[in-house]
Amino acid sequence: METIPVVDLAGFLSSDTNKKNAFVNALGSAYETVGFVSVKNHGIPDELIRDLYSEVQRFFSLPLEKKKNYEIKGLAGQRGYTSFGKEHAKGSDAPDLKEFFQFGQTVEEKKTGHEETYPENVSVKEIPEFKSTLYNVYRHFEKSGAALLSAIALYLKLPERYFDEYIKDGNSILRCIHYPPITQEPKSAIRSEQHEDINLITLLVGASADGLQILTRQNEWVGVTSLPEQIVVNVGDMLQRLTNNKLKSTTHRVVNPLRELWHTSRFSMPFFLHPRSEMSLACLEQCIDAGHPKAYKDITAGEYLDERLREIGLKK
């Protein structure tokens, strides 16, 4: 397994300037080279994670006809259930071997009347507590993600709270993924084809089984794992684009387990931290120079998300 850099968020949140600066430099350096880190003291309670796993397993254990009651047409999979084989990686026609349930933003305060409106989150009548658990996990992920983005802002020589206005009521998604047991000889060794994430950063609570691999700069696939008390956090394409490729959105995939583990399910809970749709992803001026000319056209986060949802088959 690849040992990705480990950072301690408690250092950044402490009053010790040296610890804070060390965290900023360690995180920024890792994101320039590897694109992935493991985070200790991430602020998401173990008990809440256990509740999430328990309820997610209950949901995916429901009969398919009941799960399909929560597959909402017209939402491009952005809320509720998406059945097996609907999504594929950009540039691939092969469907990923997974089903998933998505939970999104709840705007608490209507201040101006111009806030972005989001679809309602889906309640599951068979698991009444599911929605409140997802909400609590979502809010914890938002808080941890905001702290990590503050550190990234400092690394980029931006104001510490630079991202705050963009991620407040942002279009983030909590995705609960189930990779079902393998019941026959698979056509491929890949459960989820190689891809990069769309968003600013992705926070991943340790998956229930190994399988995550990243593509190194040497063009080699290496497995990634983290300790149970850590979460894996990686750069997404929006942040790579914003930083003109300074921070790396690393290609990754999920592979099948060893044959003796084919009978087991794999569960994974990524939180895709998105800004609000109106945020500009135009490359930051401080990331452009003679050696690094501007690599991308200007686009908003909403326009980019829409483009990518079409590319992966969730939106027509």
231: CATH: 2.60.120.330
- 175, containing H or E segment: strand 173-179
Establish if 316 belongs to a structural domain: no
Query: What is the domain extent for residue 47?
Result: 6-311
Mean pLDDT value of segment 124-136:
97
Give the long-range contacts of residues 112-118, CB within 8 A, separation 24 or more.
Answer: 115/169, 116/169, 116/171, 116/276, 116/277, 116/278, 118/171
Mention every residue, 6+ apart, whose C-beta is less than 8 A from residue 265: 57, 60, 178, 179, 180, 181, 208, 209
CB distance 138 to 174 below 8 Å: yes
Mean pLDDT value of segment 1-14:
84
The 10 Å CB-count burial string (b at 16+, else e) for 184-193 is eeeeeebbbb
Cα separation, 226 vs 212, in Å, equals 10
Establish if 1 belongs to a structural domain: no
- Mean pLDDT taken over the chain: 88
- 81, containing H or E segment: strand 80-82
pTM above 0.75, yes or no: yes
Region for 200 from its dihedrals, namely left if φ exceeds 0, alpha if ψ lies in -120 to 50, beta otherwise = alpha
Establish if 26 belongs to a structural domain: yes
Highest mean pLDDT among 65-79, 88-102, 162-176, 185-199 belongs to 162-176
CB distance 6 to 26 below 8 Å: no
Tens-place pLDDT, residues 13-66: 999 999 999 999 999 999 999 899 999 999 999 999 999 999 999 999 999 999
* Confidence class for position 133, pLDDT limits 50, 70, 90: very high
Establish if 141 belongs to a structural domain: yes
Number of domains within the chain = 1
Determine the distance from the C-alpha atom of residue 309 to the mean position of all C-alpha atoms in its chain, rounded to a whole number: 14
